[in-house]
Amino acid sequence: MLTKETIEKEFQKIQQHICSELEKADGKATFKTDEWKRPEGGGGKSNILTGGAVIEKGGVNFSAVHGPTPDNILKALNLPQADFYATGVSIVMHTTNPWVPIIHMNIRYFEMTNGTWWFGGGIDLTPHYVVKEEAIAFHQSLKDVCDQFHETFYSTFKEWADKYFYIKHRGESRGVGGIFFDRMGSDAAISKEKLFEFVCALGYLFPKVYTKIIAENKSKSFTEEERNWQKLRRGRYVEFNLVYDRGTKFGLDTNGRIESILMSLPPEANWTYDFQPAAGSKEAETIDWLKAQPNWLAI
């Protein structure tokens, strides 16, 4: 029988593996570990890397928390009163070079003492400049993993990501999307054990995909104008995370550790009043892609 202890232990292994692979890819900086305790129950380990050769600021966080479920969570999720347990790994990477994209991954497990349980997670890519071939390769890697578990996973989770990672007030996607799923429980198309295998497969896919992207882009030169554009795109990332992101809201609503919750924010971001990219520029092309939200594997 699959237990929360087994899930927690494997998530810790995934965190360690990802940190090791990212340190190799960066080649300069190493992760600093910050262990913390949650007064209401549980705690976690935040691994933070700053000032790297490639990664300007990145975090690979693990948490396992438990206790009485706050009333606002019960109401928001339409759940009966019961204690909760939640564990997961959450990752965000912000890079110095505008040609190396921001990336996010989250895998998580939630259960309650009344027998309710589910898995959630996903991976999405946020390029500062959208490169069609890179987006296609990224989505193909996700589809390859999804197809190992269920034929509908990629199409369903890709659509879910397109809807979720959408900045409504801007009318554009946060990035080129990816996959996103939530509350996958006893009514899912595959068993609990297979769902666990699936989220772990995504965890181990992450460093393979991202270290390849780093290797292909880290040596590209960039201008000050491109760096300024990067900071504007980071501003969009901040807007999404503070307005829409469920993980951020859940962490704040459960009295989570603020430094770990806001780890996803970039070290620098800009907001320029009514910025309009020049017609025909690569910046304008990126905005066009983000508004279109294409089916990358059908282009």
Burial of 146 per CB tally in 10 Å (0-12, 13-18, 19+): buried
> What order of strands is seen across the sheet that includes strand 117-126?
32-37, 42-50, 55-68, 83-95, 102-112, 117-126, 177-184
Amino acid making up residue 204? Y
CA–CA gap between residue 244 and residue 4 (Å, rounded): 28
Residues facing residue 83 across a β-bridge? 68
The model's confidence at residue 246, banded by pLDDT at 50, 70 and 90, is confident
**What is the average pLDDT value for the chain, to the nearest integer?**
96
Active site (catalytic) residues:
104
Exposure on the CB side of residue 89, measured as CA atoms within 13 A: 26
State what percent of residues in the chain have pLDDT above 70: 100
pLDDT score of 70 = 87
CA distances to 138, 153, 205, 284 from 210, rounded to whole Å, are 9, 21, 9, 25
Burial of 91 per CB tally in 10 Å (0-12, 13-18, 19+): buried
130-176 per-position pLDDT tens digit? 999 999 999 999 999 999 999 999 999 999 999 999 999 999 999 99
pLDDT score of 247 = 83
Burial of 202 per CB tally in 10 Å (0-12, 13-18, 19+): buried
Which residues constitute the domain of residue 20? 4-298
CATH number of the domain encompassing residue 86: 3.40.1500.10
More confident of the two residues 81 and 256: 81
CB atoms under 10 Å from CB of 2, counted, come to 14
User: Rounded to 5 degrees, what are φ and ψ at 24?
Assistant: -65, -45
DSSP 275-289: --PPTTSHHHHHHHH
Q: Write down the pTM of the prediction.
A: 0.95
Q: How far apart are the first and last CA of the chain?
A: 43
103-124 per-position pLDDT tens digit? 999 999 999 999 999 999 999 9
pLDDT score of 163 = 97
Burial of 241 per CB tally in 10 Å (0-12, 13-18, 19+): buried
CA–CA gap between residue 18 and residue 32 (Å, rounded): 14
Q: Which residues contact residue 99 at a Cβ distance below 8 angstroms, ignoring those fewer than 6 apart? A: 128, 129, 217, 220, 222, 226
Number of domains in the chain: 1
Smallest CA-to-CA distance from 96 within 270, 214, 207, 241 is with: 214
